[in-house]
Amino acid sequence: MGLTEPPQDDEVEVSLFGPGKGEAVVVHVGAATWIIVDSCRDAQSGTPAPLSYLNTLGASPSSVALIVATHWHDDHIRGLGEVVEACPKADFIFSQMLKRDQFLELVVAGRRSLMTTAGTSEFSSVLQVLEQRKRRTGRQPRQFAMPNRVIWERGPDQIRTLSPPDAGIDEALRRLAQFLPEARETKRRIGDVRPNDASIVLWIRVGDVVALLGGDLERRRSVEMGWRAILNAPVAVPSRASLFKVPHHGAATGHDDRVWSELLEADPVAVLTPYSPSQIPTVEDQQRLCRLSAAAFLSAPNQPGGRRSRSAVVDAMISGTATYLHDAEPPTGHIRARRRIRRSAVGGDAWTIEVFPPAHDMCAALPADPEPAPKALSGASNS
């Protein structure tokens, strides 16, 4: 099927977009209803990838029911203000950090001087749009994520947030506080807070189709944070997922064996984006994922890191004319997974996977695995 062909009303679609730095997920939950999870800009057009894709399909932004910002790291949030503004009927979902004074202070401080980042500027835009929408409609257009909270329902179909817990939010805010300047202190550029303790994880069930979107959540020693908080929660997810958006770009710090054994079906479809500045996923990360899934797909190849070599003369000329330089990002890849919705417990379809370059079948491109493991037949078909 072609890129411009929209899903049927009785199909779930999970589309993952990502260049070498950036990520967005667009999900069709049937009946011409969409959700958007995070945002990145298309490397060629500069348009937010979710809006560009919906336009390609001929889908109206008014059909977007939810916009979820899993966390505020720059690679998950670029263009988010435009996305929220373009989707007039969508509720905005973020963690309860948005209620905390420290986070709001950081957003305000980030509007000034050298502290500005994509995260602060985008959240500033989002908050302005939401406030205007509330005044115009009289309705609060936002919800807060917390463990095992239902944020969308349509009959038996549900979307739940599985994180973040209060302990994760508290730790993230503690780390963010280091960027708030004291009186007369030099402002510092706000960096990404790691490890990521406040990322939202989404569990999506439509009919017999279940997907788990892992955001950027990491594994932590504390049972009150990260994947352990989800796995040790008193209320387990009602059914296992057959598709997994792998967290934290496939890095080992986002991996927990129990996620694969307790939250996922055997041999699920696995999709992920790279983060080229940190060169993840590494070859070892990819080999680990391919031992767990025969259908693992990467949105773009990892690009070589490091600064390009230039002479001192060229550097001097550049410094006199440019504020900063960055290497051009590779094209934005697109992995599209579709599956027919069945309302009966009998049978069930497989996922159909399409990859649009530079997205590719990750396992097919890997060198030989030094630790091969037997695999069951995949639950996906390539087209």
Inter-residue contact 97 to 71 (CB < 8 Å) = no
pLDDT tens track for 254-290 = 999 999 999 999 999 999 999 988 899 999 999 999 9
Q: Which of 82, 259, 231, 85 is nearest to 165 (CA)?
A: 231
Secondary structure of residue 380 in the 3-state scheme: strand
CATH 3.60.15.10 fits 11-382, yes or no: yes
Q: Which of 47, 50, 68 is nearest to 59 (CA)?
A: 50
Inter-residue contact 153 to 171 (CB < 8 Å) = no
Average model confidence (pLDDT) for the chain? 84
Q: Is the dihedral of CA 294, 300, 302, 304 positive or negative?
A: positive
Interatomic CA distance for residues 93 and 161, integer angstroms: 9
Domain boundaries, the chain: 11-382
Report which secondary-structure segment, H or E, holds 269.
strand 264-272
pLDDT tens track for 229-262 = 999 988 778 899 999 999 999 999 999 999 999 9
pLDDT tens track for 350-378 = 999 999 999 999 999 887 776 655 444 34
Phi and psi dihedrals of 144, rounded to 5? -115, 135
Segment 44-73 mean pLDDT: 95
Interatomic CA distance for residues 126 and 111, integer angstroms: 13
Predicted structure pTM score: 0.86
